[in-house]
Amino acid sequence: MTHTEMLEAYPKDLGRIDTKLLADCIAACFECAQTCTACADACLSEDGVAELTKCIRTNLDCAGMCATTGSTLSRHTGYDANLTRAFLEACATACKACGDECSQHADMHEHCRICAEACRRCEQACRDLRDSLG
């Protein structure tokens, strides 16, 4: 079952929201949450874990924000565009911070490179959806 199928199965009209951008953003949020969680765990396994403390914290903050945003975007009853914009902005901000932090370690740790890419994709998906809301 894809996010798009669930959106299409929703019994009420979703209004003017772009369902492709919405589905893409939900998917990016959940992918990023999983990737950030895995990156934090991988950082904990590195020999120089003390040097990765900020990266771990940023990963866990981003994972939490992405999971919350993905869940929030999946609920449509009583939709509030202003609240949705705030979640999207906060998620994009968390993804930027995590992407920037992971990029600093990407040359030494492949998991950080992968995570930085997932963060960039999610940041862009959040901004694209936010911008489409008008």
Domains of the chain in sequence order: 18-132 (1.20.1270.360)
Q: Is the pLDDT of residue 19 over 70?
A: yes
Query: Tell me, what's the pLDDT at 61?
Result: 98
Q: How far apart are the first and last CA of the chain?
A: 29
What residue type is 30 in one-letter code? Answer: F
Query: Tell me, what's the pLDDT at 89?
Result: 98
Query: Tell me, what's the pLDDT at 117?
Result: 98
| DSSP states along the chain | --HHHHHHH-SS--TT--HHHHHHHHHHHHHHHHHHHHHHHHHHHSTTGGGGHHHHHHHHHHHHHHHHHHHHHT--TT--HHHHHHHHHHHHHHHHHHHHHHHHHTTT-HHHHHHHHHHHHHHHHHHHHHHHT-
pLDDT more than 70, % of the chain: 89
Q: What would you report as the CA-atom Rg of the chain, rounded to the nearest whole angstrom?
A: 16
Confidence of residue 36 (pLDDT cuts 50, 70, 90): very high
Dihedral-angle region of residue 78 (phi above 0 means left; psi in -120 to 50 means alpha; beta otherwise): left
* pTM score, whole prediction: 0.91
Cα distance between residue 119 and residue 134, in whole Å: 24
- The whole-chain average pLDDT of the chain stands at 90
Cα distance between residue 42 and residue 115, in whole Å: 11
